[in-house]
Amino acid sequence: MNKHPKKFRLTVSLATCLFLGACAGSQYETIAPLPDRPINSIHNGLCTATQSEMTVPVGDAFADGDWVRDFYSGDKARVENGEVTLTPAPEAEGLILLEAADTDQKSFNWAGATVYFTVTDRFANGRTDNDWNYGRKPDGKDEIGTFHGGDFAGLTEKLDYLKELGVNAVWITPPFEQIHGWVGGGDRGDFQHYGYHGYYALDFTQPDANFGTREEFRTLVEEAHARGIRVVMDVVMNHPGYATLQDMQTFSFGSLRDGFEKHLPEQWGDWQPESWENFHAYHALIDYDHPNWSNWWGKDWVRAGIGDYDTPPNASIDPVQGSLAFLPDFKTGSSQKVNLPVFLQNKESSLARQLEDATVRDYLVTWLTGWVREFGVDGFRVDTAKHVEPEAWQELKTEAQKALDTYRSNNSGQPLPAEDFWMVAEVFPHTVTRSSYFDAGFDAVINFDLQEEAHAGATCLSAMEPIYSDYSDKLNGETPFNVMSYISSHDTQLFSRIADNDPVMQKRVASALLFTPGTSQIFYGDETGRQFGPTGSDGHQGTRSDMNWADIESGKAEPVLSHWKKLGQFRARHPAIGAGEHKRLGTKPYVFSRIHGDDRVVIAFGKE
């Protein structure tokens, strides 16, 4: 294929994709696509949870004579002959959650944490006056890839909600200023795709105005810390965002083909396709070989296949130096000293400054850790970790820890952030195994297995026993490590869709997830049955629908939500659930213990 296409059709060439995002369908090509239909039949074998009295063995978690309490019902019992007899609360789905009757909430442990993942733009709109910035507009249709108004202010308003859910860490999508314009979305270019999700960075030093101001971000972090909630910020070092018509005009990089400006409106970002075209068609207006592309990131910064830039291979061929989803690939492995990109030199609002003798990696690490130093961010969720060399992540971790130490010394009166900076890696399709990523600065890696494994647990919790036992044995082995498991995500599936919107399944999966060894991640709306949204020709977009606050306000979500809250609060009180060693104590009813230091719990599930 030619490096730069000389003919243009409604089909889109690889070179076009490489630097203008024409093929920006899924967020990243490495993530498994969403099935065309929900996974079926998983609730056909739904077991019947008991509401009858149960005799529960407690093993060595509690001694004879100890008084224990069922956290769900509040009922107490005294241990006799190594067991207690209690009746599950009517709404408990057959669960009894035993703790010492005089227990206090135990100290925080990341392996026992509950991390709540929000796509900021889709979670809560705290200020409507910042909904549209940089010339962005709604599409007036399904609003699949446009900004919806969620912001830092809205998330701050919902922190008490998260606290009630037992959440002790919130993961937010990247807060950086995004590309101002849109690219064609989906395989068919059937919608305008903005960087509402935060993964199309333009300026790493500024918050996106749609998300809010620096002071609003500071308030978010401080208010989270005041509630004992840590803030984990999503970061990207593999790539910036695509180029767009709007940014080309605003920042004077790239060029149109001679005479083609007459085909554009005064504001280039307002371009619309003709009836026979789609949103990829505007690429025919662009001169891909023009020397003014040097005014963008520049060939020393990224591989992009334009002008005299290097053309990257596909990431499936070269994961580290390849282009991921046709995004420009940062040269994070280069030892070459670089200047600040021209467009950032001329961007008045940017806080990016020329660094002496700095590489691309030096700049990115400086920009990312600046958020820790200024705001006290507690950790990073690292996007696309396998597409950047391990040395870069070790450097990021080292510098982030220094930045955290600086913040703590400047804000000594605050109980948070914690002393140790935390980093978790997204490495598709990582499982529960201690890989080399733990030697590259990461404290945990996302586990992609549980989403499928939790199906059986939502049907009947006792089906999780081999999974719980396997996870615990591995995580607490000779060289302990940690993973973060989930049942829904922005790049795979929503459990509500997997469960075919069955409220019983959505309720019961809370125990399957929240009792899993290691860190548990709730995707916003897991706890309320949030529905799959408009998706166009990109199956991932529907996973990022707006948070269903109306279902909470109307009471529709209450039976599911109240159950998630009870289990979440129990997990928050006992890090042993995630960090402790698992031991099965019985099969009828299904009973297991988790013990970590002086923290101990016994969990029982009974079925008819």
User: What's the half-sphere exposure (Cβ side, CA atoms, 13 Å) at 463?
Assistant: 18
d(CA 101, CA 74): 9
Active-site residue, from 383, 526, 527, 538: 383
CB-count burial class (<10 Å; 0-12, 13-18, 19+) for 40: exposed
d(CA 153, CA 549): 16
CA distances from 235 to 7, 437, 491 (A): 37, 16, 16
Q: Torsion angle, CA of 124/127/133/138, rounded to 10 degrees?
A: 60
- Following DSSP, what letter does each residue of 80-129 receive, concatenated? BTTEEEE---TTSTTEEEEEETT--PPPP-GGG-EEEEE-HHHH--S-GG
- Classify the C-alpha dihedral 421-425-431-433 as positive or negative: negative
d(CA 514, CA 191): 37
Strand 444-447 versus strand 422-425 pairing type: parallel
The Cα diameter of the chain in Å comes to: 89
546 is catalytic: no
d(CA 73, CA 563): 12
d(CA 352, CA 367): 8
Are 364 and 332 contacting, i.e. CB atoms less than 8 angstroms apart? Answer: yes
Show the DSSP H helices in 239-329 as ranges: 245-251
Show the DSSP H helices in 490-554 as ranges: 495-498, 503-514, 549-554
* Number of Cβ within a 10 Å radius of residue 521: 26
Is residue 230 within a helix (H) or strand (E), and if so which, with residue range?
Answer: strand 230-235
Are 323 and 314 contacting, i.e. CB atoms less than 8 angstroms apart? Answer: yes
For tokens 């081999």, what's the residue? 466
383 is catalytic: yes
d(CA 194, CA 103): 49
User: What's the half-sphere exposure (Cβ side, CA atoms, 13 Å) at 230?
Assistant: 25
d(CA 529, CA 607): 24
Collapsed DSSP state (helix, strand, coil) of residue 343: helix
d(CA 487, CA 315): 26
- Classify the C-alpha dihedral 105-109-111-115 as positive or negative: positive
| Torsion angles phi and psi, residue 541, rounded to 5 | -60, -35
Active-site residue, from 151, 216, 426, 443: 426
| Torsion angles phi and psi, residue 131, rounded to 5 | -70, -25
Catalytic residues: 383, 426
